[in-house]
A = this chain, B = another copy of it.
Amino acid sequence: MIKTPYLLFLGDAPDALAAKVAQGIKDWRPDHAVGQLRLPGCKADLGLPDMTLAEARAAGVETLVIGVANRGGVIGETWRACLLDAIAAGFDLASGLHTLLNGYPDLVRAAQENGTALHDVRVPGIAYPIANGVKRTGKRCLAVGTDCSVGKMYTALAMEAEMRARAMNATFRATGQTGILITGSGVPLDAVVADFMAGAVEWLTPDNDPDHWDLIEGQGSLFHVSYSGVTMALVHGGQPDALILCDEPTRPHMRGLPDYKAPSLETLRDTALALARVANPACQVVGISVNTQHLSEADALAHLAEVEARMGLPAVDPFRQGAARLVDALAAI
């Protein structure tokens, strides 16, 4: 559990895209995002107050979150000086970078001396159990995709926001480093040892109130041969009551796999539902989330209408249209 609220470290981000983790935190957990810290040359701006470490401390910030993806994967000297200052000022640090904070002896030593924490969210923090498959109370929704990186996290976060606006009982459950930094907790599923993947998902989505929904962040795709095992662990460990199908209709091939075509939504529906029913025979497919960022507004709306008619399920782009109709579908089961 990462302590909130956050000061978002943007470093010397070369553009806005490099700061997308920080942007995600600001978009989805605005209460966590007290301010931003930018180094000379930073080209990103979240529109948050620029703060010094002292100002952030005074504003109650607990953790400096590295909200920027750097080039080369190493934490350079200019960053490190700032991070050491943050540790000396009593902040915890949190990072989703491949290069671990805990891999830098000077940061580790400083954190030990100051009694602060270094959170590397790519590294599993606990020993997860083997999954036991026992039926849990409460309800769970999982987004599954025709491919990787089609908008599964965005869909789950948009649904959570809509549900909270309706005063429904809902929790986004992060399974990747960006999601973990946004929410402050979760499981870095792709870094978990194979035997414990499904158990980690069970641990993440425990017994809950009968009306509570976990909105589980999906990973990979059952049809992506590099990562399908991770997806399978979500389908079985998550025991979903509801599936949302996610698609990005303009991909020429599966991400990173030039020889593989994405499956149809029908194939995804049939495959994912049959597998999900092994763990939860009551599971249903309730809606479709389409990432239409590469279509014009007119083409997007036409595509969504076609998908909705063909599949007999609400089909929306939550970025263009919000997630209200997906939540309506969830509330109806």
Contact = CB atoms under 8 A, between A and B. Distances in A.
A225 interface: yes
A93 B22 CA distance: 50
A222 B277 CA distance: 12
Interface in A187-231: 189-195, 197-199, 222-223, 225-231
B195 A230 contact: yes
B191 A130 contact: no
Contact of A229 (B133, B135, B236, B278): B236
A254 B131 CA distance: 13
Contacts of A194: 189-194, 197, 229-230, 233
B199 A195 contact: no
A271 interface: yes
B230 A236 contact: no
A180 to B, nearest CB: 15
A213 B44 CA distance: 54
A132 interface: yes
Chain A, interface size category, equals: 35 or more
A225 B197 contact: no
Contacts of A130: 226
Contacts of A260: 133, 278
A113 interface: no
19 contacts: A130-B226, A131-B225, A132-B257, A133-B260, A134-B259, A191-B193, A191-B195, A192-B193, A193-B194, A194-B197, A194-B229, A194-B233, A195-B227, A197-B229, A222-B232, A228-B232, A263-B278, A271-B274, A271-B275
Interface of A: 130-135, 189-195, 197-199, 222-223, 225-233, 235-237, 254, 256-257, 259-260, 263, 271, 274-275, 278-279
- 8 closest A-B pairs by CB: A229-B233, A225-B236, A229-B229, A232-B232, A190-B195, A131-B226, A229-B232, A133-B225
